[in-house]
A and B are shown apart, each in its own frame.
Chain A
Amino acid sequence: MKIGLDVSQTCAERAGCAWYADALSRALITEGLPRGHTFELYHHFGDWINADTKRGTMIDDPRVTAPLRTMNSAAAREFWHEVATGEPLPGKPDVVFSFNFHAPKLPHTKLVYTVHDLAFWMHPAFATDETRLVCQRELLQALARAAGFTFVSQHTQNEFEQILPAWFKLKARPHLLAPGASRFSTSKEAHSRPDSAPWLVVGSLEPRKNHAAALDAYEIYHEHSTLRRPLVLAGGRGWKSAALHARLDEFKARGFPVRYLGYVPDHELAALYASSYALIAPSWHEGFGLPLVEAMTAGLPALASERASLPEVGGSAAIYFPPESPAALADAMLALENEPAAYLPRSAASLERSQAFSWAGTAKSVLEFAGRL
């Protein structure tokens, strides 16, 4: 098979969906090349046109080409316009994977559309106008255009069934669960952490991620803890986050050991996981929850919101709390800290749970799925 892969999002500052596109593309290529498949990487995809493709995913192999990589944005726009009106894609792929929410018209090839999450419909207040308008339009286009669908979690698929009941039955369209996994290799064994190891929150500062609960809980924790571990936040500045940033400034003024690192590139992220005490994932909603699985591969115990896909990813290894209750989160933080003996078993449970997810496994089932289309 000739397989087209959308890596457009990997060219910009990467968030969850972009990491998914990067990691799954790499895994598909690793698994696919020995099976005789060849690949095309598209660094612009549909309406997602990049100003600069330099940072985009690249694979150095003659069987993997990147025909759009050197195109500037004007040429790329023109190119996708021609594709929509009948021009075949270069390399004439048999199947094309869309990872970036876009569903362009591809008259000559089969489109497989990845559904990352339906937060824009389930919790519209947690999506920007732009995200909402683009994502819903493109998902609806996918319903009319795609030959198959993949879901990054069972929960996302359940939401799809909830908003579009009986659609799969009606249209008899094939679909597959294609969960994400950690990009980092699993730690060898569980180990304890020093008293100075911080609590860690990973994710850009936007309302859906519920950082406010983490800060509220930390305030309670700080008052009751004897160790007073620091709190570290990693993630882009986000949007609607002015109040959060003001809050962080206030914490700093009050002498709380809270650090906001901004966007952290992935090689530093692995080290950050390795040196932290535990992960806090307080989101109102997630499509998958990459930080949760990645923290678990580093052997971190995780305190996670009980909503959306997080329980599916954390399994029985994580400790859950209702995201509307900072007090419950603070209790969980204090309980974990006050029972040092439980730390190692929790760390081991995380390591074990993280084994349930692997990019190679997902890539294999995706390749098989594509072959059946």
Chain B
Amino acid sequence: MFDLIFTHFNYAVVIVLMMVGLYVIFATQNLIKKLVGLSVFQTSVFLLYITIGKVSGGQPPILVESHGGDHALLSEPVLVASAAPVATHSGAYGPEVLYSNPLPHVLILTAIVVGVATLAIGLALVVRIREVYSTIEKDEIDALDYHFNLEGIDG
């Protein structure tokens, strides 16, 4: 059991963060805290994607000097782990390099930006809600709206 947790430590953290985030969203009445919960929830996904991309023993996915020298990007070649020839990339671009998959990292950059935008809109809405209702507690807002509905000021 503990073995599993420690070998899949990142995934365990992902699950914990995800559940904590979801719980906060639904348990709290405070709108700001709901947004905090949402951010924690989204962060768990960022970690999931970053974990997916990692190859054990893999180097950062940076182009190294090739044999031909055509594609040399770095003045000094990155030292490559000599062991673990698992899924190496050998091609025209350079010597055999075991590297992490950069694609999920790029993807999650997009998702991080989306998360920031969502948070910004959410906070802006909370500001407006506080201006109108003078409170940011969900239950108090519901109580205010209940009277609002009863008075028939609709539309």
| A and B are partners in one complex rather than unrelated chains | no
Q: Which residues of B contact A (CB under 8 A)?
A: none
Q: Which residues of A contact B (CB under 8 A)?
A: none
